[in-house]
Chain A
Amino acid sequence: MSGQPAALTHILYPYAPVLAQSDRAPHHHPVIVIGAGPVGLTLALDLAQKGTPALILDDSEGAGQGSRAICFSKRTLEIADRLGAGAAMRAKGVVWNVGRVFHGPSEIYSFNLLPEDGHRNPAFLNLQQPYVEKFLTDALRTAEAASHPVEIRGRNTVTALTQSDTHVTLTIDTPDGPYTATADYVIACDGARSPTRAMLDLGFEGRVFEDNFLIADVRMTAPFPTERWFWFDPPLSAAPRSALLHKQPDDIWRIDFQLGRDIDRAAELAPDRIRQRIDEFLPHSTAYDLVWTSIYTFQCRRMAAFRHNRVLFAGDAAHQVSPFGARGANSGIQDADNLAWKLDLVLKGHAPDALLDTYHAERAPAADENILASTRATDFLTPGSAVSKLFRNAVLSLARDHPFARPMVNSGRLSTPSTYDTSPLITPDALPGAPSRARPGSPCPDADLALPGAPGYLLDHLRGTFTLLALNTTAPPVPIPTLSLTDHQITDAFRTRFLGPEVRALYLIRPDQHIAARWPDASADTLTRALARAKGQTCP
């Protein structure tokens, strides 16, 4: 029997018995997703909208407590827009652009994300993870109501998993006892402590950092601006090594204190102790409620391989980073974005199984990029040696008076999407004079459109299929959706992002909105070859 369910912020998928539990023969599913966190929900929603059935199994009945991931990047919001959850996230979330870094009592550095014009989405949006899970589940219910094949089963805990060359067999525990199901593919999105990973006896490579961080979600109406404030060596009597203050919706503020290596966990989690820290941290006599607290440690590491035959790993189950930089949930959602269209094509017989190998080929370098950024930030925050602390403190002491030292101050480098430069699916750049940010492999930049009767943004037109973007050129007669624009319809943002000095361009864009190829123009034959390559049908 499953254990008692944990306290939840939102009950989203209460347990309900299904026929499969009493049928003698196991039911078969093309895809079973383990875990209804942001990654699993994104993946299942994407698959369902493409018409590939997805079943999510989760051991709880909804979104857990606490803010957890709070900072969602533009790329995540673009993915959410494609799946129908972006508007709800924007409506609820808090947009911020300015970050300030303090050393002791003084500000030493500030940055402004300076969002570009011509994007629907801000650079970052703060929103508690339970809201993201709720909005994705809402979108999933909408898809379900429109007869898209998707289902979530709460309090369905996978307890055993075996695979053969043809399928995966899962044993699933429920309040009414266990049952068995089979799947063509299983995607483990079951988090940092992934039980699926343990069932396959798979491990991690990388570093464990031993510092402890106290998180508190605090409700208060405070006059602080909507900015990210970060302190090194904050001037507090209990001397935490760092502190973070960041705003979330509903008048909730996130406060993190870095407590050090050897701490008395139970003593630090005592509400009086936490209040004592916060009372001293906030301006005198600020009234607040303690909403949720936790102590966490973290790792910067990943699995050696994200694919193990018919079981694939995504999000924290596959790779873990420190929270500084908002690279956890954002990169996990990008994993789902990368994997969904590949699974869909393979299961429909439109691409070979080898296409799924490119999930690792593209997302492992992305994980390495995130781990590198995250490890560097962590080394700066928690210097592990005397010399690393010496230089860290030298940078901090120089930063106030000397601008050169400020870019070295590292309180986390914020998440940016990866460009799949080394991917076998990408056709080499045939328009190198055009802007580098739209080179093959990159996530397609957004840009505003000047179309009469169809205002909006470019990404609105990239709806999860291969799409052609033809700028001042004629698309060859290949049956895929095409957006053709000529000079008077091309906005400045569009020109800057896609043409630069070039007069015309033809872009082939993948279902996950990454650019697969670009040319000044292309024959039907050239385009067909690039398309085959992007689907893993031909070897480069």
Chain B
Amino acid sequence: MPLNTQPNIPDPDDFYDALLGAHEGLDKDQSDALNARLILILANHIGDRDILRQALAAAR
């Protein structure tokens, strides 16, 4: 299965707002830690190693 890189999140502006909101009041270290936890949580949800490989390549 190919990585979905087409728009997939309903109401993207609202999601973007929520993402930034999650970092509100955090300093740089706390934000970095949150991002790391978020990546791990999302990666586990995806689970599919092939999708994850494509996502890592796309991000790089």
Contact = CB atoms under 8 A, between A and B. Distances in A.
Interface of A: 390-391, 393-395, 397-398, 402, 404-405, 408
Cβ-closest 10 pairs across A and B? A394-B36, A404-B44, A394-B37, A390-B36, A391-B36, A390-B32, A394-B40, A398-B37, A394-B33, A398-B40
A121 B8 CA distance: 54
A395 B40 contact: yes
Contacts, number: 25
Looking at chain B's contact residues, the main secondary structure is helix
Given A391-B36, A405-B44, 9 more contacts: A390-B32, A390-B36, A393-B36, A394-B33, A394-B36, A394-B37, A394-B39, A395-B40, A402-B41
B40 A405 contact: yes
Interface of B: 32-33, 36-37, 39-41, 44
A395 to B, nearest CB: 7
Contacts of A395: 40
B40 to A, nearest CB: 6
Nearest to A394: B36
Query: Interface centre among A390, A393, A397, A402, by most B CB within 10 Å?
Result: A390
B44 A397 contact: no
Contacts of B32: 390
B31 to A, nearest CB: 11
B41 A398 contact: yes
Contacts of A391: 36, 39-40
B30 to A, nearest CB: 11
Contacts of B36: 390-391, 393-394
Nearest to B43: A404
Most buried by B among A394, A404, A408: A394
Pick the most buried of B32, B36, B41, B44: most chain A CB atoms within 10 A of its CB. B36
Nearest to B47: A404
A397 B37 CA distance: 8
Nearest to B36: A394
Contacts of B37: 394, 397-398
A404 B47 CA distance: 10
B59 to A, nearest CB: 13
Nearest to B32: A390
Contacts of B44: 404-405
A390 B29 CA distance: 9
Nearest to B29: A390
A280 B7 CA distance: 55
